[in-house]
Structure 1
């Protein structure tokens, strides 16, 4: 038994050393020189070889959505590679369907630019811009969620659809020696083209640690965007159902401001999942929406105690859906939360007969 354990340890050590040597060789020895990058029908540009396609595009001020910041764990940064790029990597395959692989779709964060390459991206990504914003307000809305207000430079404006998101660059700071990009839904009104508000919860990651432990009013923060196909869609014939947990409130808040700004009186309900009453926030705003729109806020708590004297729903958001939605009614549903929340909510909505093409969602980890 002892010899088996030693053998396993030796093999593991050898594998680790080989992987480390390959990584170091690729980083410090391999020299790919300069290569050409052609995007859609635009003129080719010369770029340094050896970096990921995602970072190479970013250096060219072409921004591809990447919620995980290029770690290969979100699957958002897909582009179509028409020439060059080499074989699909094992780290890409979990995020690509057979149809996507057949059409030469790749994850730009995993693909290294080692040769001349031609790619195709949606034209709307050329409208994505980078902004060096100023932090003008930081508000603790709960003990773990901050509302940050960013102001664009003088003379610059942003145009986005309510529900879309931005990418925030967290720089190096004490205890962290790398820059990372993370995606956060826009929480503010699209009517205000000079400011962007984000709701950022603390998770202990690089970006949220930067925001919660280091960021202060007056700091300059790099944002790029907007991104995303999760946004408000007009249809007066359907009741709206919003479902969110935690910072998933952000895109719903932006949509509600859009409805208020444009006097949209569609019937709407917001089922918001929290653990306790301490996790409910921006309640004055929600009351304002109830007073000005055909809207009802319906929080549901999962950890109720007698001391709370709670009179509302208990359980989870899918429980409230099963309780309140009417079978066969026409609904347009907007969901934002973790994969677990989204999956359970979609299942409950389908039980109520909601058509899948009327369920719009934004999953986040």
Structure 2
């Protein structure tokens, strides 16, 4: 047994050493020189080889969505690479379909620029911009959720669809040596072109959430890029079912302001889930929407209501509300925002009510 253990340790050590040497060689010895990136056959970028395609594009003000900040864990930063990408990497496979691979779709955060590349990027993504802003408002909505209003100060205006997101940059700060981007849904009305609202929850050890909750103050300068995303309010007369938990409120708030601004008159219900009464927020705005939108109803539900809450409303999860109140899903569409388990269970509950899956839109965080 000891001989087998020693053998395994030796093999593991050798493999680790080889991996380190390859990484070191690729980072510090390999010199790829200048490389060209041809975008959509008509734009030529000259970059220094060795960096990821995602970061190389960012340096030239081309911003692809990357909710994970280029860590290879979200799968958003795809683009078509017709030449120069090399073989598909194991780190990409779980985010690429067979059709993606057949059509040369790759994850730009995982593909390193080592030679000239010919790539294709959808035109709508080429319209994403970088913005400089100042924190006009920073306030706590709950002990773990913060509201930011970022006023754009670089002379630009932002145009977005209700439901889309931006990527906020956290600069180096104590405990974080690198710049890091993370994606957050825009919570404001599309009529506000000089600023955006964000609703950001605190995640222990989260790089950007720690920056927002522990280091960012009113008056500070920030950067973000966007907008991104294909989650937005459709032009439809179908009944709308909105479902969110926690900071999933953000894109739904933007959608409600869109309905208010455009005087959209649709049967609309918003099921919102929180743990305790302390975790509910923006109730005054929800009341305003109920008063201003003729056929809108807000239904909050608490999953961990306590005696101290003195809660007389709904208890359970948002899926319980769907099962309890929602009639058949014919002529209805749903907009969901929350974590992966919540999205999965909500889709299942809606499908059981007769919703067509193509009529269920979601923003997963």
User: Which interval holds the TM-score relative to the shorter structure?
Assistant: over 0.9
Query: Are 2:47 and 1:47 aligned?
Result: yes
Distance 1:154 1:35 in 2: 31
Q: Where does 1:131-142 land on structure 2 (aligned, <5 Å)?
A: 131-142=131-142
Distance 2:328 2:263 in 1: 28
Q: Which residue number corresponds to residue 296 of structure 1?
A: 297
- After TM superposition, the structure 1 stretch with the greater mean CA deviation from structure 2, 1-10 or 104-113, is 1-10
Unaligned runs of 5+ in 1: none
Distance 1:96 1:155 in 2: 38
Q: Which residue number corresponds to residue 115 of structure 1?
A: 115
- Report the secondary structure of 1:310's partner residue: coil
- In the TM superposition, what whole-angstrom CA distance separates every residue of 1:150-179 from its partner, at most 9, and x where no partner exists? 011253211000000000111100111111
Unaligned runs of 5+ in 2: none
Q: Which residue number corresponds to residue 306 of structure 1?
A: 307
Question: Structure 1 pair 328/48, CA: closer, same or farther in 2 (3 Å)?
Answer: closer
- How far the C-alpha of 1:328 sits from its partner, in A, is 4.3
- How far the C-alpha of 1:106 sits from its partner, in A, is 0.1
Distance 2:40 2:338 in 1: 34
Q: Which residue number corresponds to residue 354 of structure 2?
A: 353
Distance 2:315 2:15 in 1: 51
- Report the secondary structure of 1:5's partner residue: helix
Length, aligned pairs only = 363
Q: Which residue number corresponds to residue 326 of structure 2?
A: 325
- In the TM superposition, what whole-angstrom CA distance separates every residue of 1:211-266 from its partner, at most 9, and x where no partner exists? 11111111111110000000011112x11111011111000000111111122121
Q: Which residue number corresponds to residue 195 of structure 2?
A: 195
- Report the secondary structure of 2:124's partner residue: helix
Question: Structure 1 pair 53/154, CA: closer, same or farther in 2 (3 Å)?
Answer: closer
- After TM superposition, the structure 1 stretch with the greater mean CA deviation from structure 2, 291-300 or 9-18, is 9-18
Q: Where does 1:36-115 land on structure 2 (aligned, <5 Å)?
A: 36-115=36-115
Distance 2:324 2:43 in 1: 57
- How far the C-alpha of 1:2 sits from its partner, in A, is 3.1
- After TM superposition, the structure 1 stretch with the greater mean CA deviation from structure 2, 223-232 or 21-30, is 21-30
Query: TM (normalized to structure 2)?
Result: 0.97
Distance 2:168 2:251 in 1: 16
- Report the secondary structure of 1:136's partner residue: strand
Structural RMSD (CA): 1.1
